[in-house]
A and B are shown apart, each in its own frame.
Chain A
Amino acid sequence: DAKTTQPNSMESNEEEPVHLPCNHSTISGTDYIHWYRQLPSQGPEYVIHGLTSNVNNRMASLAIAEDRKSSTLILHRATLRDAAVYYCILRDGGANSKLTFGKGITLSVRP
């Protein structure tokens, strides 16, 4: 599986936007970019995914660079409940692929 690189941690203020970066310079043409997050004492939770175009859903937005070698997860207004570990994962679009997690980025939100 292609690898991703994320900072170890990031801090943000409540009600401000948060931009979580991810580098994936070895991405292949069939790799989807997935983001999951894990709240304390819970299993990971799906956030968003995309292939080439930017994506929006009720939880977040995903901005994908034109060359697809990096992406950014955007939380438009951080809340205290958004404090979690966020994982950026490349997943091959083939039917038998699985999620391979790295260490993720720990987001802290200040009140």
Chain B
Amino acid sequence: DTGVSQDPRHKITKRGQNVTFRCDPISEHNRLYWYRQTLGQGPEFLTYFQNEAQLEKSRLLSDRFSAERPKGSFSTLEIQRTEQGDSAMYLCASSLSTGWEGYTFGSGTRLTVV
């Protein structure tokens, strides 16, 4: 296992278009998290899954954002009708559900909305 993989690494899209990002977690990890990071800030929590169940969503996750994790393996994050304010690095992380386990992060997908 080579860690958490995210695809694509970079995405440039026009305002109003839909985009979808994919995250492949470490195979034995049952938890998967999405974060968003803008320049100069720490990552902000968006949502997380335990297996296929989405257990928590941040208020940051507007109606234009949707995340899925079918079959409890990979996950997708879709942004509909993108806005310039959506430009950010989108980070995925995975972990085991035992309380103190550290997260393993991917390298992120950098989204630029023009």
Taking the closest CB of chain A, its distance from the CB of B7, in whole angstroms, is 14
Which residue on B lies nearest to A48, using beta carbons? B102
B45 and A100 contact, CB distance less than 8 A: yes
CA distance A94 to B105 in the complex (A): 21
A103 and B41 contact, CB distance less than 8 A: yes
Given contacts A99-B45, A103-B40, A103-B41, contact A46 B55 (CB under 8 A): no
Which of the residues B55, B100, B107, B108 comes within 8 Å of A96, measured between beta carbons?
B55
B100 and A101 contact, CB distance less than 8 A: no
Interface majority SS on B: helix, strand, loop or mixed?
loop
Instruction: Name the B residues within 8 Å of A32 (CB-CB).
Output: 100
A43 and B107 contact, CB distance less than 8 A: yes
Instruction: Name the A residues within 8 Å of B102 (CB-CB).
Output: 34, 46, 49
Taking the closest CB of chain B, its distance from the CB of A35, in whole angstroms, is 10
Chain B residues in the interface with A (C-beta under 8 A): 4, 33, 35, 40-45, 48, 55-56, 91, 93, 97-100, 102-108
